Amino acid sequence: MSNVEQMLTLNLKIWRQDDRNDKGRFVDYKLEEVSTDSSFLEMIDMLNDELVKEGKDPVSFDHDCREGICGSCAMMVNGQAHGPNALTTTCQLHMRSFSDGDTIVIEPWRSRAFPVLKDLRTDRSAFDKIIAAGGFISVNTGNAQDANNLPVNKENADRAMDAASCIGCGACVAACPNASAMLFTAAKMSQLALLPQGEVEAAERASNMVREMDELGFGNCTNHAECEAACPKGIDLRNIAHMNREFLKSKVSGK
């Protein structure tokens, strides 16, 4: 597709919902003169400017960094978490990925554990509860040592760093037919369990985080792998296997 700026006319079908008790519905909008150089969120900003001028309620959506770092821009675009481009958050998605006259369906994450607050905004605090259940290191390890005094296997260091790149956006949950949070939970568990500092509490952490995940209403993993495909940071599915091993260890150790 040409990188030359073009102007698009788009047909938008956007989910509108007043609050978590409202039934919600799709509302159709037509938006003209959208630059292909615009980001997806800038396109929604354009629509909201028109709605405000008309005295109508703007579309509510979450965003913060607009740099693919915070994970706030959580929305489904034409049935795909964060849209059609791999390894891309919604805020990094540009309108050059669409064509003139396209119909774009925009809706929030769909999960019992992520109730809709308003329009495209969902309450994703369940992820915070999973982290709080066991995602911290409480063992007193004393003062920080020099980096080369605490050798870490390179493969484990790389895997821990990759797991830590998870931004907690929830795309894995939205893409999974079971609304499973296992990829997220596994990433947050692996980033600690793979390093010496996190080994001490690995079993207890695994038990606590999995229990919290289940109690919050997330589904189970059945290896569809949509989570890995939808993840904007490319979190590896192998983290789930690692989490399962850590969880089994916790059961054997009685944690």
Q: What is the pLDDT of residue 251?
A: 86
pLDDT in tens, 165-180: 999 999 999 999 999 9
Work out the angle between the directed axes of helices 182-193 and 202-215 (0-180°, nearest 10).
Answer: 170
Q: What is the pLDDT of residue 83?
A: 98
Q: What is the pLDDT of residue 150?
A: 77
pLDDT in tens, 220-250: 999 999 999 999 999 999 999 999 999 998 8
Q: What is the pLDDT of residue 236?
A: 96
The token pair that represents 73 in the structure block: 């821009």
Euclidean distance between CA atoms 64 and 91, whole angstroms: 9
**pLDDT at 49 > cutoff 90:** yes
Q: Quote the pTM value.
A: 0.92
Cα 213 vs. chain centroid, distance in angstroms? 15
Q: What is the pLDDT of residue 147?
A: 65
Burial of 151 (0-12, 13-18, 19+ CB in 10 A): exposed
What mean pLDDT, rounded, does the chain reach? 93
- The count of residues in the chain is 255
**80-81 vs 76-77, strand pairing mode:** antiparallel
**pLDDT at 2 > cutoff 70:** no
Topology adopted by domain 7-118: Ubiquitin-like (UB roll) (3.10.20)
Q: What is the pLDDT of residue 1?
A: 45
Euclidean distance between CA atoms 222 and 210, whole angstroms: 16
Ranges of each domain in the chain: 7-118, 125-252
Tell me the average pLDDT across 18-24. Answer: 96
Tell me the average pLDDT across 12-33. Answer: 97
Cα 56 vs. chain centroid, distance in angstroms? 29
Question: What is the CATH number that goes with domain 125-252?
Answer: 1.10.1060.10
- Using left for φ > 0, alpha for ψ between -120 and 50, and beta otherwise, residue 57 falls in beta
For the chain, the distance separating the N- and C-terminal CA atoms, rounded to the nearest angstrom, is: 55
Euclidean distance between CA atoms 62 and 196, whole angstroms: 36
| Helices and strands (H and E) in the chain: how many | 9, 7
